[in-house]
Amino acid sequence: MTTTATSEVISLRDITKAFPGVIANDHVSLDIVSGQVHCLLGENGAGKSTLISILAGMQQPDSGTVAFDGKVVDITSPKVAVDYGIGVVHQHSTLVPAFTVLENLMLGESSMLQNTKRAEQRLGELADLLGVEIDPHALASDLGLGQQQQVEIAKAMWKGSRLLVLDEPTSMLTPQAIEHLGESIARVKAQGLAVVLITHKLREAYAMGDCVTILRGGRNVGHIGVEQLAAYSEAEAQDAILAAMFGDDLAAVGDEASDLAGAAEATREVRAIDFDDRPVRLELRDVSSRGLGRDIEADGVTLTVHEGEILGIAGIDGHGQGALSEVVAGQRPVASGTVFFDGEDITKSGVRSRQQLGVRYVTDDRLHEGTVGSMSVALNLVIKRIGQRPFWKSGRIQPKAVDTEADRLIQEYGIRTPSPETRAGTLSGGNIQKILLARELTNGAKLVVVNKPTYGLDLKTVHLVREILIDFAARGGSVLLLSTDLDELIELSHRIEVISRGSLVGGVVNDGVGTAEKVGHYMTGAIEGTD
Amino acid sequence: MSDMLSAAFITVFITTVIAQAMPLMLASVGETIGEQAGVLNLGIEGVMLVGAYAGFVVTLSTGNFWIGMLAGVVGGVVANLAMLVLNVWLGLNQIVIGLAITLIGEGITSVLYLQNYTKSPASLGQAPKLAIPGLGDIPVVGPAIFQQSGIFWVALLIALVLAFALARTNWGLSTRSAGQKPSSLDAAGGSVMRTRSIAVLLGGGLAGLGGAYLSLITTATFSPLLTNGLGFIAIVITMLSRGRIIIVMITSLIYGLAVAIGPALQVIGFTIPADLIKMLPFLIVIVMLILFARSSVVPPALGSAYTRGAR
Amino acid sequence: MNETSTAQRFAQGFVRSVVPVLLALIVSGLIMLAIGSSPLEFFAGVWKYGITGTNWQRSLSLMAPLLIVAIGLIVAFRGQLWNLGYNGQYLLGAVTASGLGPILFDVLPAFLATIVIFVVAVLVGAVWSLIPAILKARYGTNEIITSLVMSFIAVGVVNLLIKGIFKDPAVSTPQTPVIGDDYLLPFIPGTEIHIGFVVAIALAIVAQYVLSRTSFGLRVDIFGASPKAARHVGLNSTWMVILLFALSSGLIALAGSVDILGQFAYQRADWDPRYGDAVMPLVFLARFRPVAAIPFVAFYAVLATGGTLASQQAGLNVDFLLVIVGLILLFMTITEYLGNRRQLGQSYLPAGLRRTVLQPFRKESERTSA
């Protein structure tokens, strides 16, 4: 083809980066070609983010080189990356919430005085290119997530870039917004820019990418080139990618592999239950919450969860999921409405009495809320039973009883820790999540609220966590599952409610095809006007 | 006759208000810039003392108030170097370092002063006045405001320029982002370390200048622990002003009023215990904190050191 | 293996605690040289007036208030509450004793009056801390600022009291009436150390036990580690802030009343020993462990007792102690930093600074290779 002659190649060669205890990138080599979308696929912890940090100048590789058309460059800082025309849209927003869109875009300019006019003009150009409309004087915090992302893309391309890197751009978007993003990417590609798209969902890689590179355990374990990918049928591409993603684990994970990798549309995996047979375990009647911070509060929420049921709550991150979980767990005061548990009014009772009734909560903030990182694994496992027998007797801690319980839970949940005395903060995210699950699901749990239970975990642990939840429900436990991952909700839930700005805006019984569309419909319907 | 007296009285009153407000204003502007960049400097009390002492010594030996002021700035910058190196560069605890600076500043200035000047306590006399033609002749207000020392006008100008710069320039944008979300500044190609370094040095220089203003003009002498908590008041004013320097200036003026009102009442015939007068600004501050507690918003990244990639 | 690591940890903790003190003493010696005083004379004076003869007994008497202040600070700091209002809280406790003492000892048996004074002092301290505590708990207002401002107000209030209703009419200087020797805290038999010292040591042991072995101690630690985790576990954070602040402030006020009834017998206006400023670095060095604070407090008590006279002899003044304390704080953070770096097996220089330092070399090598 003629295009390859004029197109530029950014080549990464033998990039190696080690952190204490892990090798994040192990001799990774790949070529990024302008005018193409290069998908980087791999599970959490595969080394995608480290590779991107190196491209963005946030990290320096221990060894290996980055070269533009054969000329080796040294990206020593984000500034150097920006100067080379590498624009990165990070997974976590880099917008300053208190700044306007324009201020965010101008941030990092070196001249003393601001040239607002020129900046507005540039924003206009970029908005045209991306096919979006952005109000330059809106506060970043007032924008919807989709719009924030558009601003981030504009920011990444602000100084005229040659490479646009998008790190998990779809993880917080509605299906409709993902479609819109796809269009924007196509326009950027048409301009001749190279695009790197990072994802852990196989079907997105297939749909959006011109070529795919798969990372596992910090290594490049497979590459499907442009011609090859075009030649494959969807099923062939899927098999090739799955084989690379899971390697030897493919047999162990078995049929789950394609679900875990988000290869196809998700389907329900829990056994159907008959709601009429099952007594109501949790009921919220018109509940609104009242907190101190600036989080979105639960607003007039009415819902029921039956015995043995998993009720999914879908929604874009930050739409009141935290408040809803905390209201059920007893961590956040109820402003109005009533909370019933097994028919009993528990609106006024606090965390500890709900805990004893069997209401449990696995928070999404595993590191700072769910565990105390500076304390031992053993203490973290009994931390919610402070002062209770047999771990405390008349206020004094009983180390033997604590150790026995800790050993039991570590065994049962397969928590990998050097010893029960190890500081919880030193364990991996997956093992910390196991600590939370072990602690919350033991000792008479009847209802567990789980908020984003698999966020940021590796595929094997994701699989394990989902199994634990399905198992818990099968034994008669009730689960209130809040997640931003639509596939996860569809696989696990009996019913799905959609939350938006703290209110429930619609519910779907998850019994067949089309659930995703229905949920997506409620999500966009509810947020029209912001996006 | 009585009109004359009250006119002179008001002139003195306004002069006192300004003299009390200026050191605080300068220090608070410096603290504001530091806090906007994410550095809470509890060492400001010590930095002011170092500035005050340096200004005092240099003015005494050179006889030039302008050189004295410059010495105050240099003293403040030097005193804040500890914050720069230990917190901004090495990421150590701001609170502990700040308190250490305050303690060392208090101790060293007190030791040096008592070692060198106790035998012959020195006063500096008056700084040269700069009467503004025309305006200076206005009755009452003229002598109070338009016959101030030139240093007053320079200080005012510095505050106004910084107010503009913080709100409207790229430097201000970088500085504010370093306190709001340093990772954003970093990702945008700016340097958090450099931005915070400049802010800390500027804050030190301004606090030193404030201290020098206090010793050279407000009190015209130095004494151990001269600032007597003024640095901490500057921190409170900074918190209440939420990064807006114009409000810092207004609040400082209110403080000046609170301090000046005691002696003024005494002239009229009300006797107020000196301790109550000393307490008054703190009482006002605590009442303000109680009333406006909700609105005292500090930059989200205030107090936390920035390391790239740390979550 | 476990044993050696415990021993190693102990040794490491010891080094990290002692090294900053040594460095601070060395640097303060250099400063003394720089301003023309003799460090040798100073430190010899500290030894002479702080330890020799019966001077060690004066040092131990000073330990009583210092140690109680230390425990008060530890209680707050463990919960990550920066109670910096200690100077005012201490003076409020002191004025409770010096003001109420002369009145109460006239009407009550000495023992009972002493107990009443201690209880009132603790209550006064606790109530005084309510404003910072409630502002913190309700609105998240920074407690550093509020407690400091309240401290300045307390200093004013105390002075007003001493010059007003508590003033001894018999003398012209503003001070409270002197409490008779018979009413003061008794000495430990055979010494001139008042039993406040015993009380302080006992309090340290009790505090150590409560903080490290009971469910309350664990709650404080959880709260200190992460208020979010505390809420998650079901702790009432509002109540926790108020309780810890009240305990901390109450203990510091108790120290003031112990100091008056054990040592001074009266209080002058404008008197402010600022014990808290000196004690704060010590509680950091003791890693917020009350019993571990005892040796550090003892060290400082000697330094302060001997230093008052020694500094005059060496041509300094007492405020030089502030410099030493400030230096201890600085070197403490630096030692901590270096220790952490080494433990992680990393360079002493942070990445950013290392890059800046290494930049010229790297550019050089690149040029030669290219």
Q: Which regions of A392-494 does DSSP assign to beta strands (E)?
A: 392-393, 396-397, 447-451, 478-483
Of A59, A79, A107, which is closest to B309 when you measure between CB atoms?
A59
pLDDT tens-place string over residues B40-63: 899 999 999 999 999 999 999 998
Cβ separation of A99 and B189 shorter than 8 Å? Answer: no
**What was the pLDDT predicted at C5?**
66
User: Quick check: helix, strand or coil at residue A446?
Assistant: coil
Cβ separation of B173 and A103 shorter than 8 Å? Answer: yes
Edge-to-edge strands of the sheet including A447-451? A359-362, A447-451, A478-483, A310-314, A495-500, A503-509
**What was the pLDDT predicted at A292?**
66
Cβ separation of A99 and B173 shorter than 8 Å? Answer: yes
Cβ separation of A370 and C366 shorter than 8 Å? Answer: no
Please state, rounded to an integer, the average pLDDT across all residues of chain A: 86
pLDDT tens-place string over residues C116-158: 999 999 999 999 999 999 998 888 888 888 898 899 999 999 9
Tell me how crowded residue C292 is: count the other CB atoms within 10 A of its CB: 19
- Rg of chain B in Å (alpha carbons): 20
Question: Could you give the CA distance from residue A98 to residue B184 in angstroms, rounded to a whole number?
Answer: 12
Tell me how crowded residue A73 is: count the other CB atoms within 10 A of its CB: 15
Cβ separation of C234 and A369 shorter than 8 Å? Answer: no
pLDDT at C350 over 50: no
Find the helix or strand (DSSP H, E) in which A504 lies: strand A503-509
Which of A356, A372, A388, A394 has the most C C-beta neighbours within 10 Å, making it the best mutation to test the interface with C? A372
CA distance C58 to chain A (A): 38
A521 has a chain C CB within 8 A of its CB: no
CA distance B36 to chain C (A): 16
Cβ separation of B189 and A96 shorter than 8 Å? Answer: no
Mean pLDDT check: name the lowest of A205-219, A228-242, A473-487, C268-282. A228-242
C46 located within any domain: no
User: Quick check: helix, strand or coil at residue B38?
Assistant: coil
Residue A230 sits in a domain whose CATH number is 3.40.50.300
pLDDT higher for B300 or A386? A386
CA distance C241 to chain A (A): 15
Angstrom CA distances, A349 to A283, A334, C235, stand at: 15, 10, 13
Cβ separation of B169 and A81 shorter than 8 Å? Answer: no
- Name the percent of chain C lying above pLDDT 90: 59
Subunits in contact with chain B (3 or more CB pairs closer than 8 Å): A, C
CA distance C152 to chain B (A): 7
Beta bridge partners of A449: A361, A480
| Four-point Cα dihedral A111, A112, A116, A117, nearest 10 | -60
pLDDT bin (cut points 50, 70, 90) of residue B67 is: very high
C25 located within any domain: no
ipTM > 0.85 (yes/no) = yes
Cβ separation of B188 and A59 shorter than 8 Å? Answer: no
**What was the pLDDT predicted at B293?**
66
Which of B84, B103, B192, B289 has the most C C-beta neighbours within 10 Å, making it the best mutation to test the interface with C? B103
Query: Would you say how long chain A is, in residues?
Result: 531
Which of B40, B104, B291 has the most C C-beta neighbours within 10 Å, making it the best mutation to test the interface with C? B104
Average pLDDT, integer, range C74-103: 94
Average pLDDT, integer, range C93-99: 96
**What was the pLDDT predicted at B125?**
76
Of A361, A384, A392, which is closest to C215 when you measure between CB atoms?
A392
Subunits in contact with chain A (3 or more CB pairs closer than 8 Å): B, C
pLDDT tens-place string over residues A268-323: 777 788 877 889 999 999 999 987 666 788 999 999 999 999 999 998 877 889 99
CA distance B245 to chain A (A): 18
Beta bridge partners of A87: A164
C307 located within any domain: yes
Question: Could you give the CA distance from residue C326 to residue C23 in angstroms, rounded to a whole number?
Answer: 12
pLDDT bin (cut points 50, 70, 90) of residue A142 is: confident
Contact A220, A247 (CB under 8 A): no
- ω into residue A390 within 30 of 0, thus cis? yes
Partners of A397 on chain C (C-beta within 8 Å) are: 213-215, 218
**What was the pLDDT predicted at C342?**
60
- Name the percent of chain B lying above pLDDT 70: 92
Question: Could you give the CA distance from residue A220 to residue A27 in angstroms, rounded to a whole number?
Answer: 8
Chain B residues with CB under 8 Å of a chain A CB are 168-171, 173-174, 176-177, 180-181, 183-191, 308-309
- C306: which 2 tokens? 């001997």
Please state, rounded to an integer, the average pLDDT across all residues of chain C: 87
pLDDT higher for A521 or A41? A41
Cβ separation of B108 and C353 shorter than 8 Å? Answer: no
Tell me how crowded residue A510 is: count the other CB atoms within 10 A of its CB: 24
Sole residue written with tokens 């990798």: A261
Cβ separation of B103 and C319 shorter than 8 Å? Answer: no
What's the total number of domains in chain C? 1
Q: Are residues A318 and A246 in the same domain?
A: no
Q: Are residues A182 and A244 in the same domain?
A: yes
Residue A524 C-alpha from the chain's centroid: 19
pLDDT tens-place string over residues A159-197: 877 899 998 888 767 777 788 888 889 988 888 889 999
Question: Could you give the CA distance from residue B190 to residue C2 in angstroms, rounded to a whole number?
Answer: 47
Please state, rounded to an integer, the average pLDDT across all residues of chain B: 86
Of C213, C222, C345, which is closest to A383 when you measure between CB atoms?
C222
Taken in order C104, C109, C114, C116, the sign of the CA dihedral is negative
Query: Would you say how long chain C is, in residues?
Result: 370
**What was the pLDDT predicted at B287?**
86
- Domain positions in chain B are 34-118+145-228, 229-298
**What was the pLDDT predicted at C357?**
43
Cβ separation of A396 and C216 shorter than 8 Å? Answer: no
Partners of C148 on chain B (C-beta within 8 Å) are: 229, 232
A401 has a chain C CB within 8 A of its CB: no
Of A77, A370, A395, which is closest to C214 when you measure between CB atoms?
A395
Cβ separation of C233 and A384 shorter than 8 Å? Answer: yes
Listed ranges A136-145, B72-81, B144-153; the one with the highest mean pLDDT: B72-81
pLDDT tens-place string over residues A46-105: 888 889 989 988 888 999 999 988 889 999 888 888 888 899 998 888 899 889 999 999
What angle separates helix B230-241 from helix B192-213, to the nearest 10 degrees? Answer: 130
pLDDT at C352 over 50: no
Nearest of C222, C368, B96 to residue A373 by alpha carbon? C222
Which of A88, A89, A106, A107 has the most B C-beta neighbours within 10 Å, making it the best mutation to test the interface with B? A107
Question: Could you give the CA distance from residue C130 to residue B286 in angstroms, rounded to a whole number?
Answer: 13
A101 located within any domain: no
Nearest of C262, C228, C240 to residue C57 by alpha carbon? C262
Question: Could you give the CA distance from residue B295 to residue A231 in angstroms, rounded to a whole number?
Answer: 62
- A480: which 2 tokens? 């209130």
Question: Could you give the CA distance from residue A222 to residue A216 in angstroms, rounded to a whole number?
Answer: 9
Beta bridge partners of C329: none
Q: A530: burial class by Cβ within 10 Å (0-12, 13-18, 19+)?
A: middle
Cβ separation of A58 and B309 shorter than 8 Å? Answer: yes
In this prediction the pTM is 0.86
- A144: which 2 tokens? 């919807």
Sole residue written with tokens 């162990």: A252
**What was the pLDDT predicted at A254?**
64
C166 has a chain B CB within 8 A of its CB: no
Partners of C83 on chain B (C-beta within 8 Å) are: none
Q: Are residues A348 and A234 in the same domain?
A: no
- B298: which 2 tokens? 């500090």
> Residue A419: closest CA among chain C residues belongs to which residue?
C2
Partners of C224 on chain A (C-beta within 8 Å) are: none
Q: A112: burial class by Cβ within 10 Å (0-12, 13-18, 19+)?
A: exposed
CA distance A308 to chain B (A): 37
Partners of B193 on chain C (C-beta within 8 Å) are: 352
DSSP state of A233: -
- C330: which 2 tokens? 């600085």
Cβ separation of C330 and B86 shorter than 8 Å? Answer: yes
C234 has a chain A CB within 8 A of its CB: yes
Average pLDDT, integer, range A19-28: 85
Q: Are residues A291 and A318 in the same domain?
A: yes
pLDDT at A244 over 90: no
Q: Are residues A250 and A299 in the same domain?
A: no
Tell me how crowded residue B78 is: count the other CB atoms within 10 A of its CB: 17
**What was the pLDDT predicted at A528?**
47
CA distance B263 to chain A (A): 43
Q: Which regions of A120-275 does DSSP assign to beta strands (E)?
A: 163-167, 194-199, 211-216, 219-224
Residue C210 sits in a domain whose CATH number is 1.10.3470
- B219: which 2 tokens? 């009190």
Of B104, B236, B279, which is closest to C326 when you measure between CB atoms?
B104
- C135: which 2 tokens? 């502002």
C6 located within any domain: no
Partners of B169 on chain A (C-beta within 8 Å) are: 112-114
C336 has a chain B CB within 8 A of its CB: yes
- A291: which 2 tokens? 């907190």
A78 has a chain B CB within 8 A of its CB: yes
CA angle A182, A184, A185 (to 5 degrees): 65
Which of B44, B92, B99, B302 has the most C C-beta neighbours within 10 Å, making it the best mutation to test the interface with C? B99
> Residue B188: closest CA among chain A residues belongs to which residue?
A108
CB under 8 Å to A357, separation ≥6 — which residues?
A: A341, A342, A344, A346, A349, A446
> Residue B280: closest CA among chain C residues belongs to which residue?
C153
pLDDT tens-place string over residues C179-193: 988 899 999 888 889
- B159: which 2 tokens? 């505050």
Residue numbers of A between 6 and 45 with CB closer than 8 Å to C: 20
What's the total number of domains in chain A? 2
**What was the pLDDT predicted at A338?**
95
Angstrom CA distances, A261 to A205, A233, A238, A253, A463, stand at: 11, 18, 10, 11, 11
Residue type, B184: S
Which structural domain, as residue segments, surrounds residue A181? 3-94+161-260
Contact C52, C229 (CB under 8 A): no
A275 has a chain C CB within 8 A of its CB: no
- A425: which 2 tokens? 């903060």
Average pLDDT, integer, range B17-46: 93
